[in-house]
Amino acid sequence: MKRRQFLAGAAAAGALPVGRLWAVPRVHTRFLLVFLRGGYDAANLLVPVASDFYYEARPNIAVPRRECLEIDSDWGLHPALRESVYPLFKKGEAAFVPFAGTDDLTRSHFETQDGIELGQPLGGRRDYASGFLNRLAVELVGPGAISFTDHLPVVFRGAAKVANASLRVPARAGLDERQAKLIAEMYRDTALGAQVAEGFAARRDIARAMGAEMEVASRGAIGPRNFAREARRIARLMKDAYRLGFVDVGGWDTHINQGPTATAGAAPGYLAQRFEELGRGLAAFADEMGAAWRDTTVVVISEFGRTFRENGNRGTDHGHGTVYWILGGTVRGGRIAGAQQKLARGTLFEDRDYPILNEYRALLGGLFVRLYGLDAVRIGKVFAGVAPLDLRVV
Amino acid sequence: MKKLAIMVFGALVLAGCAGKPPAPPALERYAPAAQLLFLDRVTWGANATAAREMAELGAGRWLERQLAPPPGDDLPPKAAAQVAAMTITQRPVLMLAADLVERRRSVLALADDAQKKMEQQAFQQELTRLGREAASRSVLRALYSPWQLREHMTWFWMNHFNVFMFKAGLRATVGDYEESAIRPHALGNFRTLLGAAARHPAMLRYLDNAQNAAGRLNENFARELMELHTLGADGGYRQQDVQELARVLTGFGIVTRETARRGPTPSGEYLREGLFEFNPKRHDYGPKVLLGKPIRARGVAELDEALDLLARHPSTARFVSRKLAVFFVSDEPPAALVERVAATWTTTDGNIPAVLRTLFSSEEFRQSLGSKFKDPIHYVFSALRLAGTGEQVADTSRILGGLGRLGQPLYARPTPDGYPLTRMAWASAGQLAVRFEVARAIAYAGDWRIDPSLEKRLGPATVKALASAATPQERNLLYISSPEFMHR
């Protein structure tokens, strides 16, 4: 696994800045960022059970109080997580941060996702070649970084070398070694040289980590929508070759028919199914990590929350504040973290959405400081111009 | 330009570029090597037929013909026969939709649970088959139609007005969306294209406008219509405008069984065109202000008034012109070029051929030839056109599978922004590794050789690798895996 032990900036061999070596962060720490693309309906995940206004505002799609899993006097959890994330929460290995997100106000999926992934101060000129997880990778000596996606996401763009491969369907056999070498040679002195070499190397890592499963799966047993299977594959790579990971999960833009929770006799609605699949995936990831779960942190985020009131189609439209999830063996959970406020008619942002009380850059910055022991200078390189917010969750 | 310069192989080196105004249209003076690069840029990839045609006509006249294609496909016989045999060709979309609605009703009415489940699966498979027919037709046209620019632009606009065929029953209508809303206007007028896309049931379903009604607003289509189809995210609209446009769009939806039963004009303003309908009962007739301008019309005419306003807005000229320049010139097109293209857009009221003519005859375009990184669809189609042997027809299902593996399947981008058009989105380590595997599949499919007249000027590293090829197939593999072939 030596090849994976990349240094800042990857190619800059020998150019290691002085002072770096004694500031080496704990390399066994694993961090996985899960991005729910589409703006998931956070108010139906972490349900404000104490708010009568919530039940007034959502006459058709509110999660009934009696169905919520108990969190505290203000909040309840969607019942679709009963078998998966709720047990982690009870064990103190999961926490939720409501009123989290970015101050970006475009309410555009794409603008907001890009903005969050870049993690740069709002209002300045965006550098589209620099995402915050890549800047974090630059600051860390040791962990290999990988995105479990077909494309390298914005969050991982930048100077540090990052592999990417979707594990939704298992890898297939590639070229033979000789052909791979011939191709890599053609690229050696081009702008794509590093990517081509990294691509071939990652294929070999994945083939090794998947081993037996690949053979079974190539007979076509695995459905691409099964996030739990994918999450287990991700865990196998994060146990073994990589320490910093990213994956995204789509399908959260519920403008119409979010559907009911599963009640006796009735099938769960669309959103309930999405929560269930996601929850099962996260639990499967925790399980597959085994002993390494102790050193693992998973953060689940989304670009924005949705309107507090339901719309005309039993769905919700683009909103503002959302709820972040923090899970892992490192987590001091079993609670709701961060600044909070009462939810009533007068306290919504622009009379429609959750406000932002826990800005995401401060929140994640605080987390990284705790996980990796980064000093102010280093965390400032990841999230410039913001003071880390210490929620004491890890 | 610095970034691009690194990857330019065998491209034209032109003198006197910096600072001077661009040279007058010089397409006629393109030398053969430049003609090949030109073909690679504006078509789905150079092949022997197109290269011969361009050599005969010259680039300028070739382009004029491409900008005004005849309505027919002009596919070679075998490909034409495949298209002719498709259900989506033989059955008009209205009948197809009626068949499917009827079939679903009878499936839902089944009493036996096991049989019902089986029939539901069969119904879903039929929908998928129809969507794949449309995708196959699109592949056959991209590979074999002589009217390459129209097919290329059809993909561009399908991507601009993206729909996701796996939402609801869209698999049944996506073929008609391409055939009747997008493709006829791909080289027409933008405002007409916008109107056709906005009225098509595939779009109305995809962006939930079929559910948008007075008092039960759904903002989805309104927002994307401004952000992605016309003005652009920084085009100068606010949340208030999104809500106002959503109100304009109330009542524009899809014919339902109920409205279908009631006959053509159940009440005053009711309108139906195919599966599209305007239902006055669902429309918000209150006054509206969009982008600072009061909407004068009331009812069905509001849609056209709002679309006029959006299509003629200067932000739209700039936003779409820039997107065309990203597609056809470079990831970061020069601002001056975008301004000139937008000026043509404004003076011709969004005439797409005029806009493309300005783009293609620019000096910036000429200097950029050979340096645009291919996204998967350009990569796969250009490799297949290179491999194509005319008589045989490629196996479209394998091609569609390859596009899926590379992350760019047809009609299957879930989000309305469409696929990204820049290198940064497609050149990651993982994508390149998969691309070489797809290259291997193409290189070893059948016994084909590269037409020497189509071979690009190659750098020394590629020449050296090609010399090590043990078999003709391996030479194919190395050629289409080379850095030169990754660019257009």
Sort out which chain B residues have CB atoms less than 8 A from A107's CB and list them. 223, 239, 242
**Do B211 and A255 count as a contact with CB atoms less than 8 A apart?**
yes
Q: What is the DSSP letter of B180?
A: I
Query: How many Å apart are CA B319 and CA B231, to the nearest integer?
Result: 6
> Burial of B134 by CB count in 10 Å (0-12 exposed, 13-18 middle, 19+ buried)?
buried
Q: Is pLDDT at A24 greater than 50 in this prediction?
A: no
Dig out the tokens for A375 from the structure: 């000093």
* Section B309-313 average pLDDT: 98
Q: Is B400 on the interface with A (CB under 8 A)?
A: no
- Residues B479, B485, B488: CA angle, nearest 5 degrees: 160
Please name the residues between 98 and 117 in chain B that touch chain A, using a CB distance below 8 Å: none
Task: Give the closest of B227, B424, B430 to A164, CB-based.
Answer: B430
For residue A129, pLDDT over 70 is answered with yes
Tell me the pLDDT of chain B averaged across its residues.
91
Query: Which has the closest alpha carbon to B408: B434, B370, B445, B442?
Result: B434
The answer, yes or no, to whether residue B337 has pLDDT greater than 50, is yes
> What does the alpha-carbon distance between residue B11 and residue B456 come to, in Å, rounded to a whole number?
10
- A317/B220 touch (CB, cutoff 8 Å), yes or no: yes
Cα(B30)–Cα(B15) distance, rounded to whole angstroms? 15
Please give the mean pLDDT across all residues of chain A: 87
Q: Which amino acid is at A61?
A: I
Between residues B97 and A336, the one the model is more confident about: A336
Nearest to B429 among A163, A185, A255 (CB): A163
| b/e per residue A210-239 (b: at least 16 CB within 10 A) | beebbeebeeeebeeeebbbbbbbbbbbbb
Whether pLDDT at B3 is above 80 = no
Question: Are B429 and A198 an interchain contact pair (Cβ–Cβ within 8 Å)?
Answer: yes
* Apex A116 CA angle, A114 and A118, nearest 5: 65
Substitution target in B432, B474, B485 with the highest count of A β-carbons within 10 Å is B432
CB B161 within 8 A of CB B199: no
B219 chain-A contacts, CB cut-off 8 A: 255, 311, 317-318
The model's confidence at residue A118, banded by pLDDT at 50, 70 and 90, is very high
Averaged pLDDT, A40-59: 96
Mean local confidence (pLDDT), B176-183 = 98
- Reported as a pLDDT band with limits 50, 70 and 90, residue B116 is confident
Give the whole-angstrom CA distance, residue B107 versus residue B130: 18
- B432 to chain A nearest CA, in Å? 6
Q: Write out the two tokens for B51.
A: 């290269």
d(CA B194, nearest CA chain A) in Å: 21
pTM: 0.79
The residue behind tokens 């000139």 is B340
Mean pLDDT, to the nearest integer, of B158-183? 96
Mark yes or no for CB contact B428/A151 under 8 Å. yes
Residue in B6, B437, B464 closest to A175 by CB: B437
C-alpha–C-alpha distance, residues B182 and B178, integer Å: 5
- Across the interface, of A163, A174, A313, the residue whose CB is closest to B437 is A174
CA separation, residue A42 to residues A39, A48, A58, A268, B16 (Å): 8, 10, 13, 17, 57
Nearest CA in chain B to A130: B424
Question: Model confidence at B333, in pLDDT bands (50, 70, 90)?
Answer: very high
- Cα B212 to Cα A169, B205, B217, distances in angstroms: 37, 10, 5
* DSSP code at position B313: S
Q: What percent of chain A has pLDDT over 70?
A: 87
Amino acid occupying residue B152: H
Supply the DSSP string of A208-247, one letter for each residue: HHHTHHHHHHTTS---TT-HHHHHHHHHHHHHHT-SEEEE
Question: With the CA atoms of B226, B230, B236 and B237 taken in that order, what torsion angle do they form, in degrees rounded to the nearest 10?
Answer: -20
* Cβ–Cβ below 8 Å for A106 and B424: no
Identify the CA nearest to B327 among candidates B207, B132, B89, B153.
B153
**Amino acid B37: pLDDT:** 96
Q: Given this model, what pLDDT does residue B25 score?
A: 55
Instruction: Return the residue in B428, B463, B481 with the most chain A beta carbons within 10 A, the one to mutate for interface testing.
Output: B428
* Residues from chain A contacting residue B407 (CB–CB below 8 Å): 150-151, 166
The tokens describing A147, both together, are 């995105």
Strands (DSSP E) along B187-273, which ranges?
A: 252-254, 271-273
Predicted ipTM > 0.85: yes
What pLDDT band is residue B324 in, cutting at 50, 70 and 90? Answer: very high
| Predicted confidence (pLDDT) per residue in B240-263, tens digit | 999 999 999 999 999 876 666 665
Residue whose structure tokens are 């669309």: A270
Q: Is the pLDDT of residue A18 over 60?
A: no
Specify the pLDDT at position A166.
84
Interface test with B, best of A147, A169, A181, A192 (most B CBs within 10 A): A192
Contact A199 B486 (CB under 8 A): no
Torsion sign (Cα): A263, A268, A271, A276: positive
Nearest to B429 among A182, A202, A317 (CB): A202
Mean pLDDT score, B125-136: 96
Element (H, E) at A323: strand A322-328
Contacts of B313 (CB under 8 A, 6+ apart): B230, B231, B235, B236, B291
**How far apart are alpha carbons A254 and A314 in whole angstroms?**
9
Q: Do the chains contact at B211 and A188, CB–CB below 8 Å?
A: no
> Is residue A266's pLDDT more than 80?
no
* Token pair recorded at residue A208: 């090794």
Q: Which of A187, A255, A313 sits opposite B483 (nearest CB)?
A: A187
Residue that has been written with the tokens 């037996």 in this structure: A212
**Facing residue for B432 by CB, picked from A195, A256, A315:** A195
Cα of B400 to nearest chain A Cα, Å: 16
Q: Give the mean model confidence (pLDDT) for residues B119-146.
A: 95
Q: Write out chain A residues lying below 8 Å of B475, CB-based.
A: none
Average pLDDT over residues A139-167: 87
Provide, as residue numbers in chain A, all residues whose Cβ is less than 8 Å from the Cβ of B462: 186
A256 contacts on B by Cβ (under 8 Å): 208, 211, 218
Q: How far does B282 lie from chain A, in Å, by closest CA?
A: 12
Tell me the residue type at B291. Answer: L
**Amino acid at the residue A317:** D
Lowest mean pLDDT among A93-102, B342-351, B441-450: B441-450
Does the beta-carbon distance from A166 to B477 stay under 8 Å?
Answer: no
Q: What angle do CA B20, B25, B29 make, to 5 degrees?
A: 105
Q: Which string of DSSP letters, residue by residue, matches B400-427?
A: HHHHHHTT--TT---STT----SGGGT-
Which chain A residues are closer than 8 Å to B428 by Cβ? 147, 151-152, 162, 164, 195, 199
pLDDT band at B265 (very low <50, low <70, confident <90, very high): low
Give the closest-approach CA distance of A223 to chain B in angstroms.
15
Q: Do A199 and B481 touch (CB under 8 A)?
A: no
DSSP state of B62: H
Question: With an 8 Å Cβ cutoff, is B415 touching chain A?
Answer: yes
Predicted pLDDT of residue B301: 96
Of A53-67, A266-280, B386-400, B472-486, the range with the lowest mean pLDDT is: B386-400
Residue B461 pLDDT > 80, yes or no?
A: yes
Q: What is the DSSP letter of A62?
A: P
What is the pLDDT confidence band of residue A261, given thresholds at 50, 70 and 90?
confident
CB spacing of B211 vs A313 below 8 angstroms: yes
Rounded mean pLDDT, B426-431 = 91
pLDDT at B405 > cutoff 60: yes
Q: How far apart are CA B137 and CA B155, in angstroms?
A: 12
Tokens standing for residue A168: 């939704």
B437·A110 Cβ contact <8 A: no
- The model's pLDDT over B285-295, given as tens digits with 9 standing for 90+, comes to 999 999 999 99
Position B146, amino acid: P
Interface touch B415/A175, C-beta < 8 Å: no
Decide if B239 touches A, using CB distance below 8 A. Answer: yes
Confidence band, pLDDT 50/70/90 cuts, at residue B26: confident
User: What mean pLDDT is predicted for residues B254-279?
Assistant: 76
Neighbours of A191 (CB within 10 A): 16
Which of B212, B215, B424 is facing A157, going by the closest CB pair? B424
Among A45, A48, A108, CA closest to A78: A45
d(CA A177, CA B177): 45
In chain A, the residue whose alpha carbon lies closest to the alpha carbon of B462 is A186
CB pairs under 8 A between A and B: 152
> Does any CB of chain A come closer than 8 Å to the CB of residue B326?
no
pLDDT of residue A181: 95
- Note the pLDDT of residue A288: 94
Please list, in sequence order, all residues whose beta carbon lies within 8 angstroms of the beta carbon of residue B66, skipping any fewer than 6 positions away: B42, B147, B148, B149, B150
**Choosing among A6, A157, A311, A316, which should be mutated to test the B contact, i.e. which has the most B CBs within 10 A?**
A311
Contacts of B481 in chain A (CB under 8 A): 183, 186
